Amino acid sequence: MGKTIEQIALQRGHVISYIIDRENAHELSLLLPTNTDVAIEFTSPERAFGHVQTCLLQGIPIVCGTTGWLKDKQQAEQLCLEMQGAFFYASNFSIGVNIFFRLNEYLATLMAQQPSYQASMEEIHHTEKKDAPSGTAITLAEGVIKHLRNLQLWVNEPAGKSNELSIISKREPEVAGTHSIFYNTAIDEIEIKHTAHSRNGFATGAVLAAEWIQGRRGVLGMADMLGF
């Protein structure tokens, strides 16, 4: 993702002030409003929160797409507000996926009137992805649970109780990301699916968010940028 974001940013006429990874992590302290307009954070769940904190404390707007660290997200949002900074988070920066989020919720409102259908989900990602289920799958699951009264939580396994939404996670080589939501009865099945063909959609969305966040403050997301 980092390399793809760099390529797209350069194609769009931006200058990369720093590229920070494990080998030069200490250079994060060098980011200042005088040398960096915005940071884009795509690393790992165990490092993301620290990076977000550092950028906010140093007055750098930050766009974060790392998933798997949401237990600390509320703390990051509070710090953003205290520092009067800008923190843009999305579980998925693809424009298509964010339209899919809306479609998922709309379908869930319709299915709320059809209790005979059993909802379930499946997500497939590349073998290097560390968190399961994906952040995108969790966002989709929350959208389903929000509208289906019989569901109270998601589980990353086959559902064992009637109030559980099952998410099956699969990891396969060279898969950018596929997410499916199913509604099943003995009579038929309804399925909606989003399939990413490459990482370019995610990277382009992240760069667009970095452009859009300029001059803005607060806790922001794709719904704000897309006007949903």
Give the mean pLDDT of the chain: 94
At 81, is the pLDDT very low, low, confident or very high (cuts 50, 70, 90)? very high
Q: What is the pLDDT of residue 129?
A: 84
At 1, is the pLDDT very low, low, confident or very high (cuts 50, 70, 90)? confident
At 56, is the pLDDT very low, low, confident or very high (cuts 50, 70, 90)? very high
Segment 143-166 shows an average pLDDT of: 95
Which residue, among 164, 90, 104, 96, has the nearest Cα to 134 in the 3D structure?
A: 90
Other beta carbons within 10 angstroms of residue 177's beta carbon come to 23
* pTM for the full predicted model: 0.78
Residues acting as catalytic residues: 125, 129
Segment 22-27 shows an average pLDDT of: 90
Does pLDDT of 130 surpass 80? Answer: no
Domains in the chain: ranges and CATH: 2-93+200-226 (3.40.50.720), 95-195 (3.30.360.10)
Q: What is the pLDDT of residue 55?
A: 97
- Percent of the chain past pLDDT 70, that is, above it, reads 100
Segment 147-163 shows an average pLDDT of: 94
